[in-house]
Amino acid sequence: MKTVFSGIQPSGTVTLGNYLGAMKHFVDMQEDNQCYFCIVDQHAITQPQDRLKLRENIRSLAALYVAVGLDPEKAVLFVQSEVPAHAQLGWMMQCVAYIGELERMTQFKDKSSGKEAVSASLLTYPPLMAADILLYGTNVVPVGEDQKQHLELTRNLAERFNKKYNDIFTVPEVQIPKEGARIMSLTDPTSKMSKSNPNPKSYISILDEPQTIRKKIKSAVTDTEGTVRYDKEQKPGVANLLTIYSAITGESIATLEERYHGKGYGDFKADVAEVVVNALEPIQEKYNELIHSDKLDSILDDGAARANTQAVRMLHKAERAMGLGRRT
């Protein structure tokens, strides 16, 4: 049995990108692996957050984890800040990381560019992410393609630590799904769909009403050619909608191209919208049952306790390896 870890930031309402690129695959993995799925709220505060909104997003993400099909009996579902070992090991991993390699991270460059005040934590995000993963002896990290670079860094930090101090960390493998790995923005299909994008038309939230989803997909940017075919370079908007359709239904892009041969974008977009609406409907129903329930709190309490037991063991090993404290 392998150990799997992944996390999502409660930095907004989960998008279709987060769902297709990450969460959907979490559900498949819980059957045969020991899974830890975390709500990484400490990562979320690397960007300014409204305190009440953040709290709401944490709860909402927890309810969505369960609503998409994660079973708290099988997978450990928990909030990062409720397991102090994450921040503790995160600091230690900062001491192992070099500024140069952190500055080379694309996400850091994207999120800091053009800003006058950039928090130090935006730079040191990857060592905290490495700590999240390494605490559980993780073998596999299922993430969207956008996180590949951070995962590579995690592997490097783990290897560096093992060599320099003691061979305690498992070097994790990244697992990127073939379909739905990178869902793009509906308004600018050359950049990825992000939950913190200030323009809600750019993303589909997993909690959007059917009518909103239809409207957003109808107005998604495409091109003037009018043929439904997959060409990421020349037709990124259509390619993105084909990716969404295919990732949800499991039908190949070639099958879809054939089906829409000779048809216009209107029909195609209407069908994409229905596919999305139908996929999200049962998730939304389950979410509404859970969001205000005490059950959700007991799931998270239990998850934090289970994660903590495991995480503290690895933290102590790392402290001993580095010579911190008095434990021998």
Q: Give min distance, CB of 171 to ligand AQP, in A.
A: 19
Q: Give min distance, CB of 322 to ligand AQP, in A.
A: 27
235 is catalytic: no
Nearer to ligand AQP, 141 or 318 (CB): 141
Q: Give min distance, CB of 192 to ligand AQP, in A.
A: 4
192 is catalytic: yes
CA distance 64 to 291: 9
In the bound complex, which residue of the shown chain has the CB atom lying closest to ligand AQP? 21
Nearer to ligand AQP, 147 or 187 (CB): 147
Q: Is 199 annotated as a binding residue?
A: no
Q: Is 258 annotated as a binding residue?
A: no
Give buried/exposed letters for 276-302 (b at 16+ CB in 10 A, else e). bbebbeebbebbeebbeeeebeebbee
Q: Kindly name the residue from 24, 111, 235, 269 that is annotated as catalytic.
A: 111
CA distance 16 to 180: 9
Q: Is 11 annotated as a binding residue?
A: yes
**DSSP character at residue 116:** S
2 is catalytic: no
Longest pairwise C-alpha distance within the chain? 73
Residue 290 · residue 61 · CB < 8 Å: no
Residues near ligand AQP (CB under 6 A): 7-9, 11-12, 15, 17-18, 21-22, 143-144, 146-147, 181-183, 192-196
* Dihedrals phi, psi of 124, to nearest 5 degrees: -95, 15
Residue 223 · residue 212 · CB < 8 Å: no
Nearer to ligand AQP, 82 or 146 (CB): 146
Q: Is 299 annotated as a binding residue?
A: no
Cα Rg of the chain, angstroms: 20
Nearer to ligand AQP, 192 or 269 (CB): 192
Q: Is 132 annotated as a binding residue?
A: yes
**DSSP character at residue 20:** I
Q: Name the binding residues.
A: 9-11, 17-18, 132, 144-146, 183, 192-196
Q: Name the binding residues for L-tryptophan.
A: 132
Give catalytic residues, as residue numbers.
111, 192, 195
